[in-house]
Structure 1
């Protein structure tokens, strides 16, 4: 199936089955479904309402919302009217909202709920070119988005030929959206993505996954992010039934109640699911606990090439019956596969999920590439290698530059950064190659492996290169460690800041009769320090001598996107962390007596 413009998906759906449920949302504890016909009519009426309101092709409208069917209604309505959609994360700062509003020149803003309305209204009121602020939820005194729908319906006959004319004039090269990258430093950049960028990426992954009409998929990653947005288009084009989770805290019950067959995620969510599973195992006693962790260890040895010996296969059959079957029950009993992207996935988690009968497959891409560049998939043999991000899509090119940077070229590469030609020239060279900023290699000439971010690699004073992300991911394999940042540029050795998995740490401390008033006191406890020394020591065994963590510090607060240490896509904001912990970092390398919440690993690794 070939699509050229995003709204072509709607006509494809309409032609196939207008009565099919396509978008579902939770209201008052139960699912409310929208058919293709309802989707089609809402989107078309919204487009006509915008035209009647005076909006023209090339105008821009921002949405700030959770995932919901209405997001799709307005997205497709904007698309067919030639309006450029500027979706924005709800969790960014007021300063960033103001910057994006002014930089993009949006004329309308649509928010989801009352809390966002109160936050955005004063910013919108102080932005001269914003003409109106609408809401999805009904809020007293606020304009409701349905007013645009009603306007379109009132003038539907008159506007039918007008809308058809506008649609015919929209090409694959026209800008469909400006997505502002969350970024780990500075203000975000507006990535201009065309209809063709999105649809070529949909076409590029079309045959990679088992998605069919009425396949049930759960959606919970923000639709304002390019990753979830593209797979949202893919799910619709494949006629899947999309269920939007109420929020991140309801993923498990929502997945169980809709009996999801698949979902897209980021590694952090998988890690949290794994942590909860391990926590439940820790609550078991006697033989049940022993069997649980035996199954977990067995699962981590799973080979996707299916070359485990006969004895292993017998053991796995027992483990699936006694332990892994319970996993499936918590997921609703019908989960088949999971697509992971946005950051590096721990290989052992992929093996563990495969052992449980759930295909956990990793892919790779960027906002600037709409987004997928490579992806593992299992619908055909020899296209999946754990520890890599999979084969390159068949409609794009990839090459590894002399310094190891991954370069790509093809119809998925962005049009450029909005109002920033100089920044565009920095990443797209004269031959059309987009410089990803990631370091990687091709394994067996086929599977792309990401080793680190080019800008994040650093040299120690001995001239040895350190790839921090690789070490950080190894540290995070410990259930005690939620996040870690490896440091040591121009220093004698590598060190780390560690943010614990406080949920698990509190439970562990309680079980071991460790009393504490707060996290600050907890991370200074000698028994806790001993545990973290042991966990870092395990990681060091997997590293070269120059990569090993010689000192670390445990911080007493979690790192989140809400508190500013992580980006909206849960990547470390290194500059923010460097500033926040400047004093602590200086003390790591000051060779002064260590603080109470210190950890030191001997230089010989013993």
Structure 2
């Protein structure tokens, strides 16, 4: 039964803390959570709730539908946002020892065609919003999988999408579940007793090349869930708000551990940095009585949230001094003690931020690229802990992480206890006072292989997997990740430039929506800056309006603001080259990003010629 909010009182429940198999979740854990809310999803107008009892009913029907077709080790692709149909398909695929192949709806056509061509699925679950696109690509590739159209629940993803007439080979997911033979016994596949059974085909991020496909085993998944099962802690009346797509491997861990422990997850499938969207959706949830305690998001979201906070301070006269203080938080390469500010104003800002996020928000989990330490510090002083984690698709999720009681800003925390690790190709470089090297890891969470390649092709003779990330460890044992070596720019003095980090620093400015930094020509002794301005914030800024009224040209008013963003990034980046202000390039469109919100340099560097200059 689907309801807007669980109406029955929520009783006590058993909180499980480990699994021996993914089958444990289906056969044991979910049953113990009864009428607790399992997930909430956006209908387009409100949020509907599915209790664990109803959730389990849909899951059993999905398992029976798969078993009736006699399927095992078949590839099940998905092309939809987070929703109930995805959940039950993923768990049923694991339970029956088939292979989950999640495809992000933000993949461009080149990437999607590439992935489908190297791994043609046997079945694919697709949202109504993606049906026509999928048909075109399948026809072009001459691939004919069985297609399930997700239509069990009305969701925001499909809002305003006209209905389509199903074609040959396409089935209604609702019909598939409704006609499943209820006499089929719910028994896990014997293949789950084998740790090397492949259960996942997860695409890599694809920042510098087209994505590969990592083959994730049952043993990988079980080890990762058990290692990170304590990363989230909720009471039975609190929710986790997930902004990440389940095509992102670190959210596979979240997906399974929340089902293991009986936690409620609310799916946020809109773009949170669209104007007023986040606050509007939080208000909807608050009116329904939902208490959001944890956010799970990428660094791009935390950047956006910080800018929202700064803009509110900037436009509130009594908080303007606090705004100026935080704005210069990192100058001179040190953090100032925000606690020395007016305690009443700081308390007011804490309260305002808490209320803005629903009134119960206490901590966040940041996955994907490293989060700037200053952002962690600022939110910490405003009463919010952000846990930064470092992951790799090839390691089936988390490699290292900070913890609620052990947060070290500017680091990725401590290494997973499951992994042996080492730094190879060590070198000394300017600006880093420790040995820098490529991180290699070995352990039960490391993938089986890339699809189509021999086992551990990037590994060494003794079984270590080469991540490709340049890292170092400080004297406390915390891991610092400089970045993917293939993405870094090696400067003339031997230092490394991390373009993704510079992009994040530039985007800290409230007038910058997105940014890219690169060395355009090999002989340039500076870095060129490409910016996509945040025109919405710019045009509603009172100072912008005053500048235009007093005769300042829009061109000059824009340049002045972007120069401020460049000056800030330069002042805190700690890099050898200058970020050039002689020519500032304006991007014609927002940057394409991976499901983990990293820039797709493979595409973007080839279309910088579309930018204009000021």
- TM-score in same-fold range (> 0.5): yes
Q: Is 1:134 matched with 2:139? A: no
Deviates more, 1:500-509 or 1:361-370: 500-509
**Equivalent residues of 2:411, 2:479 under 8 A apart:** yes
Greater relative CO (CA pairs within 8 A, separation 6+): 2
The within-5 A match list for 1:104-143 is 104-113=119-128, 115-125=129-139, 130-137=144-151, 139-142=163-166, 143=171
Choose the corresponding residue for 1:535, options 565, 569, 586: 565
Q: Which residue of structure 1 lines up, in the alignment, with residue 303 of structure 2?
A: 271
Instruction: Give the corresponding residue for 1:366.
Output: 392
| Contact 2:500–2:599 under 8 Å retained in 1 | no
The verdict on how the C-alpha distance between 1:94 and 1:290 changes in structure 2, with shifts beyond 3 A counting, is closer
Partner of 1:487: 518
- For residues 217-242 of structure 1, what are the alpha-carbon distances to aligned partners after superposition, in whole Å with 9 as ceiling and x for unaligned? 11221111112222122222221111
Whole-Å separation in 1 of the counterparts to 2:575 and 2:369: 26
Aligned match of 1:64? 79
The alignment status of 1:253 with 2:280, answered yes or no, reads yes
1:44 aligns with 2:67: no
Aligned to 1:514: 548
Other-structure match for 2:312: 280
User: What is the deviation of 1:316?
Assistant: 6.3
SS in 2 for 1:275: helix
1:555/1:300 Cα in 2 relative to 1: closer, same or farther (>3 Å)?
Answer: closer
Say if 1:447 and 1:510 are closer, same or farther in 2 by CA, change over 3 A. Answer: same
1:143-542 paired onto structure 2 within 5 Å: 143-152=171-180, 155-157=181-183, 159-160=184-185, 163-164=186-187, 166-167=189-190, 170-249=193-272, 250-256=277-283, 257=285, 258-284=290-316, 286=317, 288-290=318-320, 292-293=322-323, 296=326, 313=339, 315=341, 317-378=343-404, 380=405, 383-403=406-426, 404-421=437-454, 424-425=456-457, 427-461=458-492, 465-488=496-519, 490-499=522-531, 500-508=533-541, 510-514=544-548, 522=554, 525-542=555-572
| Corresponding position of 2:3 | none
- 1:212 is displaced (CA, Å) by 4.5
CA distance in 2, matches of 1:472, 1:150: 49
**Structure 2 residue 113 is matched with structure 1 residue 102:** no
- The answer to whether the 8 A contact 1:351-1:386 is kept is yes
The aligned counterpart of 2:45 is: 29
Corresponding position of 2:602? 575
**Which string of whole-angstrom CA distances, capped at 9 and with x for unpartnered residues, describes residues 9-51 of structure 1?**
2334234222222112233533322222222221122111122
Which residue of structure 1 aligns with residue 159 of structure 2? none
Post-superposition Cα deviations, 1:496-525, rounded to whole Å, max 9, x if no partner, equal: 222133333333473333389xxxx95xx2
2:497, 2:575 within 8 Å by CA — same for their partners in 1?
no
| C-alpha separation in 1, matches of 2:512 and 2:131 | 36
CA distance 1:85–1:170, shift in 2 (3 Å): farther
Q: Could you tell me how far 1:291 is from its partner in structure 2? A: 5.2
Residues 1:295 and 1:405: Cα distance change in structure 2 (over 3 Å): same
Gaps of 5+ in 2: 1-16, 153-162, 427-436
Is this contact kept in 1: 2:151–2:174, CA < 8 A?
no
How far apart, CA to CA, are the structure 1 residues paired with 2:247 and 2:98? 16
Could you tell me how far apart the structure 2 residues matched to 1:291 and 1:85 are?
A: 52
Post-superposition offset of 1:388: 0.4
Q: Which residue of 2 aligns with 1:546?
A: 576
Q: Secondary structure at the match of 2:383?
A: coil
- Extract unaligned runs of 5+ from structure 1: 585-594, 598-606
Q: How far apart are 1:462 and its partner, in Å?
A: 5.9
Find the residue that maps to 1:440 and give its secondary structure: strand
Take 2:325 and 2:353, find their aligned partners in 1: how far apart are those partners? 12
Q: Is the 8 A contact 2:530 2:586 kept in 1?
A: no
Assess, with a 3 A threshold, how the Cα gap between structure 1 residues 323 and 541 changes in structure 2: closer, same or farther.
closer
Q: Which has the higher helix share?
A: 1
Q: In structure 1, the residue corresponding to 2:540 is in which secondary structure?
A: helix
Q: What secondary structure sits across from 2:415 in the alignment?
A: coil
Aligned length: 557
Distance (Å, rounded) in 2 between the aligned partners of 1:17 and 1:66: 25
Q: In structure 2, do the counterparts of structure 1 residues 20 and 512 end up closer, same or farther at CA, with 3 Å as the change threshold?
A: same
Question: For the Cα contact (< 8 Å) 1:298–1:316, is it kept in 2?
Answer: no
1:493/1:549 contact within 8 Å kept: no
Partners of 1:111 and 1:243 lie apart in 2 by 21
Task: Report if the CA contact (8 A) 1:353-1:360 is conserved.
Answer: yes
What is the match of residue 105 of structure 2?
Answer: 90
**Residue 202 of structure 1 aligns to a residue in which SS?**
helix
Among 29, 32, 53, the alignment partner of 2:69 is 53
Change (3 A) 1:397 1:212: farther
Instruction: Please say if residues 41 and 48 of structure 2, whose CA atoms lie closer than 8 Å, have aligned partners that are also in contact.
Output: yes
1:576 Cα deviation from its structure 2 partner: 2.3
Deviation at 1:183? 0.5
Q: Which residue of 2 aligns with 1:600?
A: none
